[in-house]
Amino acid sequence: MIAAADPMVPNLHRIQKVTQETSDTFTLALAPSCGRKCPAFRPGQFNMLYVFGVGEVPISISGDPATPETLVHTTRAVGAVTAAMKKMRPGDQLGVRGPYGTEWPVAEAHDRDVVIVAGGIGLAPLRPALYSLLNHRERYGRVVLLYGTRSPEDILYRTEIQKWRSQFDLDVHVTVDRATGKWRGNVGVVTSLIPKAPFDPYHATAFVCGPEIMMRYTILALLKRGVEKDSIHLSMERNMKCAVGFCGHCQIGPLFVCRDGPVFGYPRLEKLLDKREL
Amino acid sequence: MWTIQPRGLGDLLEALRNRGYRVVGPVVRDGAICYEDLGSIEDLALAWLDEQEPGNYRLTGSGNGDLFSYSPGAHTWKKFLHKPSVTLWRATKDQKGLHLKEEPTAEGKVALFGARPCELAAIAIQDRVFLEGPFVDSFYAAARKEMFVVALNCSHPSKSCFCVSMKTGPRAATGFDLCLTEIHPNGEAELVVEVGSETGGLILADLQRREATEKDLEAVRKTLEEAEQRVERSLDTEGIQGLFDRSFESPQWDDVARRCLGCANCTMVCPTCFCTTVVESSDLAGAEATRTRIWDSCFTKDFTYIHGGSVRPSGYSRYRQWITHKLANWIEQFGTSGCVGCGRCITWCPVGIDITAEVEALRARERTGSGSGGSSHEGNA
């Protein structure tokens, strides 16, 4: 008997394009080489990416949900699998299974302001949400992107961010922890942008992704500004081996990040986020 | 209800083998009750007595004429259903690129011979994990689908058992094809058989049997009542989610961390623990890679590793995760406790940590007001 559709078996994809974003971060554009079509995905979902002979890791999808035929993943080389991935070139093959997990609730944000707060590589899982908002720009109020990185050299999607900055229907504010070179922009943590960012906190939905410490302080700043708890959404990261609720690695208290997340409404995480070593 | 003689066990085994079942059951190996293949009835562990208590297991001859005077050892049936090692798929690489090869999901029909009531409860719990979620584990599903269960009600609970408080034993209510209870109406052992499925009835029809008498059934009731009374340990599950919620910062975690070796024995012997990892292995030429899923444990530091470090670097946090998940979070995740009261984690803990005593200690600290805020842990193990 052959497993017709065991959830652990990937589909093969071929790399179409590699974009070096920063010294350690790169974007892969993939297309199926297995004859199957790329399934549609919702902003915030992730795939399990497999590198032959090395292993498999969960990586968020960072492309445009309106064009799912090309699968886009932005990855930072931090472990064995992602380091091997960084060396891959167009034509090389990867295994892909997914998409998995919950989405940024863009529909809930209709007729409201949307504030996106990203820290570092946390911008990658937020980019599909931003594309989705811009694809249907008329449905939303003000759209604000607040983005913090370690240094100007760590800014992702640089050209795209410059384009977004020049748009009249999107407010983009970037800050860095350490200014280097010719940087003339904001210096400081991303939370420092929240008090004066141009959105109406009482009618705003917030999407937040970054290191956990950054998300905790971002939530405090958003709440202080007057954003409702129910209107704050976060994306979490945990060790993951299966992405389908079997391996047990990704649990945060009673939650499985793979199937209950990675995107959570803040009320579900409120009691868990401050617990050390949960 | 029917009654068979002990020699009927051999006929039952043969009947199952004739129907194409691989029959697995309790055998004696390395001084312990293990679940292995039963080639013939001679392999079945009969007339052994076990001693179990925290951190201690001994198997001795029974000498009292009882066939099944032992309770489960370190093995669990999950080794046949949610196997310790499963090849998920393979990949080969040649000049054309990568090629995936899926693995077969099952080797055939398996009959579990002598599964205890708490173990049936454990299988029902793993069913929820692997079959009833948004995804189905095809390896588990294939093994589970072709499974036959000969259950064995418990007449000799060990000192580690606490099935009564977990409402899983000593009598099996469901989840079997045939269920045996050992009785001694005239000093000689006999087995009363309850039929739980159509297949079970068909197989029993092949055996020499007689209809169970009222006296037999009375003996069954008496045996199981006595067994229930002999279960010494208990776990108080009343309001247990709230207890763990309030006990997150309890000093008890430091206390247990000083004893816990982090060896993961409790997770390996637990019949419901389901966590796994996947390992990649490749040949020296780099032409073939194999993805193998193996049991993993939340007691390892690697379990939660993400770039920058482990989410649970300290021993106290890993013990807290295991027991909190097992007894509290499981209820929210799967609508049932993750514990069946089999007592394996108590017996096989090398330092004798007792899950029931840890729950009692958390409750005691709450009662005496030392339940929270007194912890000095700094997060480094």
Show the beta-strand stretches assigned E in B212-260. none
Query: For A78, which of B307, B313, B328 is closest by C-beta distance?
Result: B307
Instruction: Using the predicted structure, report yes or no on whether residue B261 has a pLDDT greater than 60.
Output: yes
A16 touches chain B (CB under 8 A): no
Instruction: Using the predicted structure, report yes or no on whether residue B374 has a pLDDT greater than 80.
Output: no
> Per-residue confidence at B370, pLDDT binned at 50, 70, 90?
confident
- Three-state DSSP at A229 gives helix
A259 touches chain B (CB under 8 A): yes
> How far B175 CA lies from chain A's nearest CA (Å)?
22
Return the half-sphere exposure (C-beta side, CA atoms, 13 A cut-off) of residue A191.
16
> Are B89 and A9 within 8 A, CB to CB?
yes
Determine the pLDDT at residue B63: 63
Cα–Cα nearest to B235, from B185, B174, B184, B161: B161
Longest Cα–Cα distance of chain A, Å, equals 64
CA-CA distances (angstroms) from residue B8 to B63, B141, B220, B275? 21, 31, 18, 39
Answer for the pair A95, A37: CB distance below 8 angstroms, yes or no. no
Q: What percent of chain A clears pLDDT 90, i.e. is strictly above it? A: 94
Q: Which CATH code is given to the segment(s) A106-273?
A: 3.40.50.80
Contacts of B105 in chain A (CB under 8 A): 1-3, 6
pLDDT in tens, A210-234: 999 999 999 999 999 999 999 999 9
Instruction: State which amino acid sits at residue B339.
Output: C
Residues 43-82 on B with a CB inside 8 Å of A are none
Count Cβ atoms within 10 A of the Cβ of residue B36 and give its class: 0-12 exposed, 13-18 middle, 19 or more buried: middle
**CA B81, CA B143: separation in Å to the nearest integer?**
5
Strands B48-53 and B68-69, by their bridges, are: parallel
Determine the pLDDT at residue B107: 75
Return the half-sphere exposure (C-beta side, CA atoms, 13 A cut-off) of residue A21.
25
Instruction: State which amino acid sits at residue A216.
Output: R
Tell me the sheet residues that pair with B90.
Answer: B101, B290
**CA B183, CA B247: separation in Å to the nearest integer?**
45
Answer for the pair B379, B204: CB distance below 8 angstroms, yes or no. no
> Where do the domains of chain A lie?
11-100, 106-273
Instruction: Using the predicted structure, report yes or no on whether residue B380 has a pLDDT greater than 50.
Output: no
Q: Which CATH code is given to the segment(s) A11-100?
A: 2.40.30.10
Buried b (16+ CB within 10 A) or exposed e, B220-258: beebbeebeebbebbbebeebbebbeebbbbbbbeebbe
Instruction: Using the predicted structure, report yes or no on whether residue B371 has a pLDDT greater than 90.
Output: no
pLDDT in tens, B174-213: 999 999 999 998 889 999 999 999 999 999 999 999 999 9
> Per-residue confidence at B65, pLDDT binned at 50, 70, 90?
confident
> Are B274 and A248 within 8 A, CB to CB?
yes
> Are B103 and A238 within 8 A, CB to CB?
no
Residue count of chain B: 381
pLDDT in tens, B121-160: 999 999 999 999 999 999 999 999 989 999 999 999 999 9
CA B35 to chain centre: 11
Question: Could you give the ipTM of this predicted complex?
Answer: 0.94
Instruction: Using the predicted structure, report yes or no on whether residue B381 has a pLDDT greater than 50.
Output: no
Determine the pLDDT at residue B187: 85
Stretch B354-363: mean pLDDT, rounded? Answer: 98
Tell me the sheet residues that pair with A96.
Answer: A11, A49
Instruction: Using the predicted structure, report yes or no on whether residue B377 has a pLDDT greater than 80.
Output: no
Determine the pLDDT at residue B281: 97
> Are A278 and B280 within 8 A, CB to CB?
no
Stretch A56-70: mean pLDDT, rounded? Answer: 96
Q: What is the DSSP string of A202-213?
A: GGEEEEEES-HH
- φ, ψ dihedrals at A59, nearest 5°: -135, 130
Contacts of A275 in chain B (CB under 8 A): 248
Contacts of B102 in chain A (CB under 8 A): 2-3, 6, 9
Residue count of chain A: 278
Answer for the pair A104, A92: CB distance below 8 angstroms, yes or no. no
B100 touches chain A (CB under 8 A): yes
Stretch B98-127: mean pLDDT, rounded? Answer: 94
Q: Running DSSP on this structure, what letter comes out for residue B116? A: -
Stretch B320-341: mean pLDDT, rounded? Answer: 98
